[in-house]
Amino acid sequence: MDLLKKLLYKRIGFVILNICISIFAVAVSLWCNAQLSRIINTININSVVSARTIIIAAVTILSSMGLAYLLSICSGWTCETMAHDLRMGYALHFTTLSITEIENLNAGEQLSRLQNELSDVSGFLRTNLFAIVDDLIKFIVTFSWMLWINPKLTLFANMPTIFIIWYTVYSSKVIGKAVQKSQQANAQMNGFADMLITVFPILRLFDANLPIQKQYNIALEQWESASISAERRRAKLMSLSALLSCIPLLLLFLIGGT
């Protein structure tokens, strides 16, 4: 979390720009919904929709599409820049080490971190970071707007949200622990493979390939088991989370319809 704060603070200008675009995009989206609702209500009462109303609605829709595209470009650029800062910071870390510290490093484990952990973090930044921020802004703005229109309906329909948030936090911790365990097993396996490459001439000299190969297979099976367990747990928890997220909308339709 501290590292994420440093990355965000370093690119604070881009972060603020993305937040402002997201807020403006949500406001335009709500205004677009209001325009469409006005058109539908006008048609229902067998009245004529004016050309001015149609033009305003069309401009609002185009503006909403343009803001969504602009947000995707800005957020992608910001996340890729932060991922680059992370990789360069990791590379800079090795330049500050002494010769003794470098000699004590396990090349296999460091390569595993570079290929797996940093790649996972970069993927999270590109696909999830600003998506989560955008969803949070949408929730706050939309909830406030609905609360202003109909407080009782909004509060009752969104009561399950508290439980959903708690479940999301809980499942995130469980998935995080499982993924961390899988990454540790992967790092140990890569470190073991690096050690085998280093001492291979000695192993061949003393004909010790078979015992070492058995230990490597054990490490490989542990990593495979940890990876399968992590993915299985992720699939179960996220599937239930997707089902729970539909409850507020179903309640809104049910209560609103009655």
DSSP string, 29-96: HHHHHHHHHHHHHHHHTT-PPPHHHHHHHHHHHHHHHHHHHHHHHHHHHHHHHHHHHHHHHHHHHHHT
pLDDT at 208: 60
C-alpha pair distances (Å), 154 with each of 132, 164, 231, 240: 22, 16, 36, 23
What residues contact 208, with CB distance under 8 A and at least 6 apart? 202
pLDDT at 217: 75
Backbone phi, then psi, for 157, in 5-degree steps?
-70, -25
For 82, the token pair is 């932060």
| Domain boundaries, given as residue ranges, for the chain | 1-107, 150-258
pLDDT at 112: 60
Q: What does the alpha-carbon distance between residue 41 and residue 140 come to, in Å, rounded to a whole number?
A: 27
Q: Using one digit for the tens of pLDDT, what is the confidence trace for 207-258? A: 666 666 777 777 777 777 877 887 888 777 777 777 777 777 777 777 665 5
The CA-based dihedral angle spanning residues 10, 13, 19, 21, taken in that order and rounded to the nearest 10 degrees: -150
pLDDT at 130: 75
Residue ranges of the chain with per-residue pLDDT less than 50: none
The phi-psi region of residue 188 (left if phi > 0; otherwise alpha if psi is between -120 and 50; otherwise beta) is: alpha
